[in-house]
Structure formats: structure tokens, C-alpha cells
Amino acid sequence: MCSKIAVFLFLLSPAPLLANPVVYTDQQHPPTNLTPETQIVWLDAPERLQRSVFGEFPASIEQAAAQAQAVMRSPQWQQHENDLQTAYRGVVHAWEIGVRKYPAVVFDDRDVVYGTADVAMALAYKMQERGRP
């Protein structure tokens, strides 16, 4: 009897809202149908930033080290370093919350829809999964 009442009360209670969407993706899977509050984490951003900042390194270790040191001594280095930290922060957060593959849309750091970077599609899927129109 208690379990029937609990199920009935659960069905009457509003489903928790799906909020704070974050799209975890790369340049090959651009996000679509974004809401104003959607955040985008480009998982390939650290690699792209490193490539744009440092370029291709020569085969010689000495020349590569000199090239890297020149970049790190440049006036733009502080901004580049901040950009890299921000890019890696998103990748680390994806790992921390358990994102296993991408693209993925994550709501409230817990509800994940894999295989799409389309926020509207992910939201519709989660609502259907919860039995809501």
C-alpha cells in the first residue's frame, strides 16, 4: 500500500527541470539550437590553442626548446597561458563529471545525452525519457 502511494505521489510531483546545459564537443561537431544559458566546452580547444601559439616544432630538441622559450617570453604569453588554462579547465571538468564520449549535452552536471551537440534534441530526448511531452 505504501509503495502505491509513493508511486502516485512521485507521478504527481513535477519532474526536475533540465537546466544549465553544457555542450561538450569539438570543431567536427558544432553545437546547434543553443539556448541563451548554454555553455560550450570545446574539447579540442587546448590542442588548437597550443598549435596556434607554438606552431610546428622543429625536429631538433634544441631548436624546439628555443622556439618554445621565445613564445613564453613574448608579451602575449600571459594571455596565451590564461587561454590554455581556461581551455584545459573545461576538459578537466568533463572528465570529473564522467563525460565518456562526445559530442554530449549535459544538464546540471548529471543528465547526459551522448551523440549530439543539438541542445533542443537533447532536451526533447530527456523530456521524453522522463515521460513528459
Task: Please tell me whether residue 107 adopts helix, strand or coil conformation.
Answer: strand
Q: What is the pLDDT of residues 30-71, one digit of tens each?
A: 999 999 999 999 999 999 999 999 999 999 999 999 999 999
Residue type for position 122: A
Task: Answer yes or no: is pLDDT of 77 > 90.
Answer: yes
pTM of the predicted protein model: 0.79
Q: What is the pLDDT of residue 7?
A: 37
pLDDT at 133: 56
Contact 26, 42 (CB under 8 A): yes
pLDDT value at residue 3: 44
Q: What digits encode the pLDDT tens for the residues 89-116? A: 999 999 999 999 999 999 999 999 999 9
Cα separation, 105 vs 129, in Å, equals 15
Which residues, 6+ apart, have CB-to-CB distance to 109 below 8 Å? 20, 22, 97
User: Distance (Å, rounded) from C-alpha 73 to C-alpha 23?
Assistant: 34
How far is Cα 91 from Cα 105, in angstroms, rounded to an integer? 14
pLDDT, position 17: 67
Determine the pLDDT at residue 18: 75
Using CA atoms, how far apart are residues 22 and 39, in angstroms rounded to an integer?
A: 5
Report d(CA 24, CA 29) in Å as an integer: 9
